[in-house]
Structures are given as C-alpha cells and as structure tokens.
Amino acid sequence: MSIVLQTKNINKYFRKPVLFHVLKNINISIKKGEFASIMGKSGCGKSTLLYILSTMDTDYEGQLYLNNELLTGQNHNKLSCIRNKHIGFVFQFHYLLSEFSVLENVMLPAKKLGEKSFEEIEHEAMQKLKILGIEHLALKRASRISGGEKQRVAIARALINNPSIIMGDEPTGNLDSHNSENVFNIFKQLCDEQGLSLLIVTHDEDFAKKTDRIITMSDGEIIS
C-alpha cells in the first residue's frame, strides 16, 4: 500500500534555555488508509513531532515526505499551500469561529485555497456535514452547539479540502467517553471507507488500543 507520510532520521533541538535534544532519530511511515496513534508520557515530544509532521515547524534535521514529495527545505508559501490542501487538523480545542455559522466554519479552508466557486464549496461543506451526521446544524452559530458537535464540525472542516492525512493533537481530550467513542468511530469510518490516513496524539489508552498501530514515544525517541 502507498505511503502517505514518511520521516527519515528527524532530530530536533531546542537551544534555549539550554541545548536540549528533544527528538531523536524519528523514522515514521504512515500508509494510505492507516489509523495510527502516538502515545507517551507528558513532555516526551509528541506535540513537537506533530508540529514538524504538519509542516508548521521547519527547524529540524532529517527529511519529511508527504505523498513521496520532499517537504524539507521548501519555502514557507509552498508549505502553507501543501498544508492547506493535503493535511487536515483536529485539536483538543476546536478553534471554531464562534460568531460564524457551522457551515461557514467548514467552508473557510476551501475558500482560503481558492480553487473552487462559492457554490461548489458550499455543496462540499454540506456533504462533509452529512458524513458527520450534523447537516441539520449547518446554519446554527458555532457558539450555540454542544462540545461533541463542535468537535464534529472541526472534523468536517479538516476534511473540506479532501486531505491525504488528518493529524490530531488530543482531539478527544475535551470530550466525555460517549463523544470520544463517536469521534473514534467517525475517524475509523473515514479510514476504512475513504482511504484517509490518520495520525492522532492521545493520552487515552482505550482510544489508542482501537487504532491500527500505536507509536510509543519516550524521551524524544520512538520505542515501539
């Protein structure tokens, strides 16, 4: 099966307040349709790694590939474009624009990409909301829906540009067990039915156990 995301010997150092080798020889491959989770104690480097994998941090040694294209060394504008088109993000806090409607929030990354007409984007945003079972919320203000619903809107927004991979930093960290399971099931369905790849940082062992593969980190290294 084809590889979507790959790293070769990624190392990262923080230089202040003292030199600190935070990521050590990270080699990861995520296949198309694979659902992987990253676990490890607080401070082991999970978020630092996710920042690099998501192209937001470019200050590292080693190589990062997305769909076999080398991203390391590409300029800021190119990376921003690749990120918007190919990588979807879901965070612990949804970062929806509370004064905007659910539909407007989902449409935003596609408007930013600027490749489709308003009508096309609106149609696709409605389709994403349908996949997540929340199309009835489309015209509601984002501030007037529940936490679990907000997280589903955040997933719909992450899907709008049909990315190759979704990365999540504790996307269920703020949800109760029922909503957390809902989000897991949605992710699983997206992998199985649409061939989407997922890489999710989580502290939730029950969530991680259900993924295809757990990548365990300790002190900046992958240990299993």
Ligand X SMILES: Nc1ncnc2c1ncn2[C@@H]1O[C@H](COP(=O)(O)OP(=O)(O)OP(=O)(O)O)[C@@H](O)[C@H]1O
Residues lying near ligand X in the complex (CB under 6 A): 14, 20, 22, 40, 42-48
Q: Which two tokens stand for residue 180?
A: 């957390």
- Between 49 and 129, name the residue whose CB sits nearer to ligand X: 49
| Percentages of the chain per state (helix, strand, coil), in multiples of 5 | 40, 25, 35
- Between 135 and 219, name the residue whose CB sits nearer to ligand X: 219
Tell me how far, at minimum, the Cβ of 130 lies from ligand X, in Å.
33
Q: Which two tokens stand for residue 160?
A: 């709008």
What is the rounded CA–CA span in Å between residue 90 and residue 106? Answer: 12
Residue 11 carries which side chain, given as an amino acid letter? N
Q: Which long-range contacts (CB under 8 A, 24 or more apart) does 53-58 make?
A: 53/5, 53/7, 53/28, 53/167, 53/199, 54/83, 54/87, 54/89, 54/167, 55/79, 55/82, 55/83, 55/87, 56/83, 57/12
Burial class (CB in 10 A: 0-12, 13-18, 19+), 68: exposed
Tell me how far, at minimum, the Cβ of 212 lies from ligand X, in Å.
21
Tell me how far, at minimum, the Cβ of 180 lies from ligand X, in Å.
17
Tell me how far, at minimum, the Cβ of 72 lies from ligand X, in Å.
19
- Between 91 and 132, name the residue whose CB sits nearer to ligand X: 91
- Between 112 and 209, name the residue whose CB sits nearer to ligand X: 209
Tell me how far, at minimum, the Cβ of 47 lies from ligand X, in Å.
3
Residue with tokens 């150092």: 13
- Between 46 and 157, name the residue whose CB sits nearer to ligand X: 46
